[in-house]
Structure 1
Amino acid sequence: MIESSTNPQIKKIQKLKKSARNRRKEGLFIAEGVRLVEDALAYHRAEKVYLSENVKEEYFDRLSHKLKEADVEYVSSKVFQEMSDTESPQGVLAVVRMPEHDRTTIVEQEGAAVICLEDIQDPGNLGTIFRTAEGAGMSAVIMSAGCVDLFNPKVVRATMGAIFRLPFFVTDNMTKEAERLKAEHFSVYAASLDGARFYTEETYEGKCAVIIGNEANGIRPETQQAATHKIKIPMEGQLESLNAAVSAALFMYEIHRNR
């Protein structure tokens, strides 16, 4: 049992929690909580699992059949509290290998539907969009390099495990990505306050991509210009726009409704 926060393994976990650079360098991230660790084990991504000495029996029982094949380490409750990124830890945490996905496989799917995110900054928004994208049956999520790190612990938690199941990749330039998608026979829709049509007026036939922009500034002008369509959400009252995750949900489920 690990009983000191100066243990090299604990120091490694702290670095992975706090630094996107370290996560990228190691190709690892942290998943905390029974549900996320269960998914990491199910998809064979868990490098090592850490259990608090006082982990609840119900949580242990839920994981026990998968833990037989895992590298498991127990830690004291005090050390686990220091490892944890949550206010009420469940006593279950894993160091996880980052998933990898092939862009070609994604975009060549017949009827592929992708959600593109340009410079999304809020961890809760990014994680919620991932979770919703899985629920709406999207083929993939494409993120610009300016988005908050997908493997930030807050983002990972908000995905509710979708991070293990939904294909994704990062593009250095969303404008060029939109142009590339058009060349691959995608209809590319930009969510815009000055859209020519409401999002419910489109049919989203064939392969399609919807771009959601930064929470404060929206989609970059050059990326809007690269889209094939500008679409908007009807707004009443004095509001200009909705939360990015809410807007993304409306677009994704409209695509789902039309399929």
Structure 2
Amino acid sequence: MTETISSAANPLVKRMRLLADRRHRRREGAFVVEGGQPVWRAIEAGWEIEALVVAPELIGGPAAEMVAEQEARGTRVARLSRELFVRLSDRDGPSGLAAIVRGSVAGLETLAVGPESLFVALHDIGNPGNLGTVVRTADAVGASGVVLVGDTTDPFAPAAVKASMGSIFAVDVVHAPDLDAFFAWVERRGVRVLATSGRAEAAHWDSDYSTPAAVLMGSEGDGLPEGALGRADARVRIPMTGTAESLNLAVATGLVLYEARRHAVASAGDPEGR
């Protein structure tokens, strides 16, 4: 009979708690994913699963069947008591399924560029929920990758993974150490850069979205530095007519990405966006 883990002193439980820390995730090259859909997307995308973590009293239906299938294929399955899983979970009403997944952020040079490529570049952003939402939006719009520039938050932080709803496993997320490295890469690869600024003259719906292109977004508090705006091929703003001074970073990114998609669809002669 398979043992059910109920002690917080268990080595696997300790490992899951340690992986909540960014330094430990970097050192170990692993992170925790929770929820049926994100775990399934990790498996479907071929990411290495170190262990599936299950609370038998909570899990059921297709998720339980998926766990049984993966266990039959040789994947390690650890079973936790309901109480312990709830204590480890960062969700209200946890589903009873999590996974320890192996992965790390690749360098910028690993990112493939094609004639229709559209990228998102995020400079010094600090909110992991925003990052996860941007990754999810990039996935939805069919973007070719997300570039993290400079000192950004960790895409494998629990809040980022949760907000991405599994899209972290479908979109290439890479890192550039600074803006110089990013602009050197776009110049070598022939990628146009559209930088966002509230002071730009052109509205985002009037801009040239010729590909390959990268939409460059600044940090939540400070936006993009003047040096980055000056090196971009174009600067765009999102018009606002109310009293709000700014938009949430993830919302702003979504607006620009979908405008880029609209332009691409129009150029292809398909008004329905198929």
Is TM-score (shorter-chain normalized) higher than 0.5?
A: yes
Tell me by how many angstroms 1:34 deviates: 0.6
* Structure 1: unaligned runs, 5 residues or longer: none
Match of 1:61 among 65, 75, 79: 65
Q: Is 1:31 aligned to residue 36 of structure 2?
A: no
**Amino acid paired to 1:98:** G
Tell me by how many angstroms 1:22 deviates: 0.4
Q: Is 1:156 aligned to residue 161 of structure 2?
A: yes
Provide, for residues 205-230 of structure 1, a one-character-per-residue CA deviation record: whole Å limited to 9, x for no partner. 12111111111111122222221111
Q: Contact between 2:113 and 2:212, CA under 8 Å: does it hold in 1? A: no
Cα distance between partner residues in 1 of 2:201 and 2:250 = 22
Q: Contact between 1:175 and 1:223, CA under 8 Å: does it hold in 2? A: no
Match of 2:151 among 137, 146, 153: 146
Tell me by how many angstroms 1:66 deviates: 3.6
SS at match of 1:181: helix
Provide, for residues 221-241 of structure 1, a one-character-per-residue CA deviation record: whole Å limited to 9, x for no partner. 222222111110111022222
Provide, for residues 1-41 of structure 1, a one-character-per-residue CA deviation record: whole Å limited to 9, x for no partner. 21210011110110002x10100100000000111111122
Cα distance between partner residues in 1 of 2:242 and 2:97 = 45
Aligned to 2:268: none
Percent identity over paired residues:
29
Q: Is 1:185 aligned to residue 187 of structure 2?
A: no
Aligned to 2:8: 5
Cα distance between partner residues in 2 of 1:55 and 1:108 = 43
Provide, for residues 38-77 of structure 1, a one-character-per-residue CA deviation record: whole Å limited to 9, x for no partner. 1122223211001013123223135443443221111111
Moved more, 66-75 or 185-194: 66-75
Cα distance between partner residues in 2 of 1:222 and 1:114 = 20
**Amino acid paired to 2:42:** A
Q: Is 1:74 aligned to residue 104 of structure 2?
A: no
Moved more, 99-108 or 82-91: 99-108
Cα distance between partner residues in 1 of 2:56 and 2:244 = 50
Match of 1:252 among 254, 257, 262: 257
Q: CA RMSD in A?
A: 1.7
Q: Contact between 1:117 and 1:144, CA under 8 Å: does it hold in 2? A: yes
* Structure 2: unaligned runs, 5 residues or longer: 265-274
SS at match of 1:6: coil
- Within 5 Å, give how 1:170-249 maps onto structure 2: 170-249=175-254
Q: Contact between 1:13 and 1:95, CA under 8 Å: does it hold in 2? A: yes
Cα distance between partner residues in 1 of 2:158 and 2:108 = 25
SS at match of 1:50: strand
Tell me by how many angstroms 1:98 deviates: 1.0
**Amino acid paired to 1:224:** L
TM-score normalised by the chain length of structure 1: 0.93
Matched residues, number: 258
Match of 1:16 among 8, 16, 19: 19
Tell me by how many angstroms 1:100 deviates: 5.7
TM-score normalised by the chain length of structure 2: 0.88
SS at match of 2:111: helix
Provide, for residues 137-160 of structure 1, a one-character-per-residue CA deviation record: whole Å limited to 9, x for no partner. 111000123221111111101101
Match of 1:167 among 147, 172, 179: 172
